[in-house]
A and B are shown apart, each in its own frame.
Chain A
């Protein structure tokens, strides 16, 4: 059985690993979004975008990254609207851009 100290150290290591991986996770969302905007994304790309955001929404607060879960959940909901609407919809695009900016900010907050 691990001691409390071992447990806390392990937890801290996982938290740190998550924070280190965050920029890459956000970059992944941005890459998918760019691909979609370029207009030649493969089928299922919007789903990929939703999944990447869903993953951030489901994990951010657990790892103590303030505001990330909420920002990612809002962007995920917008991605769902994109799926049922159109990527050419300017208002939807700017909505998503704004929400993505919130995700970036939350992910890079100290």
Chain B
């Protein structure tokens, strides 16, 4: 059976042993398979996944990643703080301790992704709002809500900005790494981030992880807006902390409904409880 964590393990990830992992490694007995044990020996909080995989004799990449995933799920390893250095958003200050998706988050994301792919096959697009009710954002009363749209297709970006403006948002566009850093470093915290995955010089999943690690930005709702429609991509987005995943091409009313639901602005037939929103 496929390990859902495999899709979450990036070559550039740097992992360190948890206490449980240390105990497993130093214990008198272990039930771990040889490859998992070998990785526990080698994981040092410095080398990334690709480097460790390259040093493993005659083992397939996907097998190494699957084992990494299993070790994360079993709580033996966790993303190391050094990952922050490995990523290239050096100017992106205010990082908190890095987060790894919990086993529960991965299970939920996997279930949602399965439903999503079915929906995608039937309807051509899929939306899931995964945020829990307690985390529902409230719109500030004294100013327009501010959205950051991270999208490199200029017409689509303009289209989204136009739609959000009509819905009462101020929107800032960012199409590449520098613009993302600039937009997210503004003093006013955004109230919403729409995030494309495939960007010219950045990976949306990495951006999502940086946002979720950032002290000031970690609670900002993020909707992944992407043409990456594979089950693995949906799992990766939701388990990585995205509040919603909308596949492109999308219908605008679907996006607007999702945003309104996220902000508790939906009325009548548009009203939809948190965590059950699937359009």
Chain B 185-216 near chain A by CB (<8 Å), digits 1 or 0: 00000000000101010000000000000000
Chain B neighbourhood of A59, CB < 8 A: 153, 155-156, 248-249
A23 contacts B by Cβ under 8 Å:
no
In the assembled complex, the CB of A80 is this many whole angstroms from the nearest CB of chain B, namely 11
Whether B162 pairs with A62 at a CB distance below 8 angstroms is no
Decide if B249 touches A58 in the complex (CB within 8 Å). yes
Please tell me which stretch of A31-39, A49-57, A81-89, A97-105 contacts chain B, meaning at least 4 of its Cβ atoms lie within 8 angstroms of it: A49-57
* Interface assignment of A1: CB less than 8 Å from any CB of chain B: yes
Q: Which residues of B contact A (CB under 8 A)?
A: 124, 152-153, 155-156, 158-159, 162, 165-166, 168, 196, 198, 200, 226-227, 248-252
Q: How far is the CB of B224 from chain A (nearest CB, A)?
A: 12
Q: In the complex, which residue of chain B has the Cβ closest to the Cβ of A16?
A: B155
Chain B residue at minimum C-beta to C-beta distance from A19: B155
Q: A51-B198, A54-B227, A62-B248 are in contact. Are A1 and B155 (CB under 8 A)?
A: no
**A:59-82 near B, CB below 8 Å:** 59-63, 69, 73
Asked if residues A55 and B162 are in contact (CB atoms below 8 Å), the reply is no
Verify B156–A62 contact, CB threshold 8 A.
yes
- Tally A residues with Cβ within 8 Å of B: 21
Q: How many A-B residue pairs have CB under 8 A?
A: 56
In the A-B complex, the 5 residue pairs with the closest CB atoms = A58-B227, A61-B249, A58-B248, A18-B155, A62-B249
For B249, the chain A residues whose CB sits under 8 A away are 57-62, 69
Q: Chain A nearest CB: distance from B175 CB in Å? A: 11
A interface vs B, CB < 8 Å?
1-2, 7, 10-11, 14, 17-18, 21, 51, 54-55, 57-63, 69, 73
Given A7-B162, A14-B162, output 16 extra A-B contacts at Cβ < 8 Å. Answer: A1-B168, A10-B162, A11-B162, A14-B158, A21-B155, A51-B198, A55-B152, A55-B198, A55-B227, A57-B248, A58-B156, A58-B227, A59-B153, A59-B156, A62-B248, A73-B227
- Name the residue among A18, A55, A58, A62 with the largest chain B CB count within 10 angstroms: A58
CA–CA, A11 and B167, complex, Å = 14
In the assembled complex, the Cα of A58 lies from the Cα of B225 at a distance in Å of 9
CB distance B165 to A14 under 8 Å?
A: no
Is B166 within 8 A of A7, CB to CB?
A: yes
**Chain B residues, Cβ within 8 Å of A63:** 155, 159
Contact present for A51 and B200 (CB under 8 Å)? yes
- 13 A/B residue pairs, CB under 8 Å, sorted by A: A1-B166, A1-B168, A2-B165, A7-B162, A10-B162, A14-B162, A17-B158, A51-B198, A55-B227, A58-B153, A59-B153, A59-B156, A60-B249
Residues in B whose Cβ lies below 8 Å from that of A69:
248-249
Q: Which one of B124, B226, B252 lies within 8 Å of A58 (CB-CB)?
A: B226
With a cutoff of 8 Å between Cβ atoms, the chain B residues found around residue A55 in the complex are 152-153, 198, 227
Q: Give the Cβ gap from A58 to chain B, nearest Cβ, in Å.
A: 3
Closest A residue to B228 by beta carbon equals A54
Q: Which residues of A contact B198 (CB under 8 A)?
A: 51, 54-55
Min CB gap B256→A, angstroms:
12
Q: How far is the CA of A60 from the CA of B153 in the complex (A)?
A: 11
User: What residues of B have a CB within 8 angstroms of the CB of A17 in the complex?
Assistant: 155, 158
Query: CB-nearest residue of chain A relative to B168?
Result: A1
Report chain A residues within 8 Å CB of B168. 1
A59 to B158, CA, bound (A): 12
Given contact pairs A1-B168, A63-B155, A57 touches B227 in the complex (Cβ within 8 A): yes
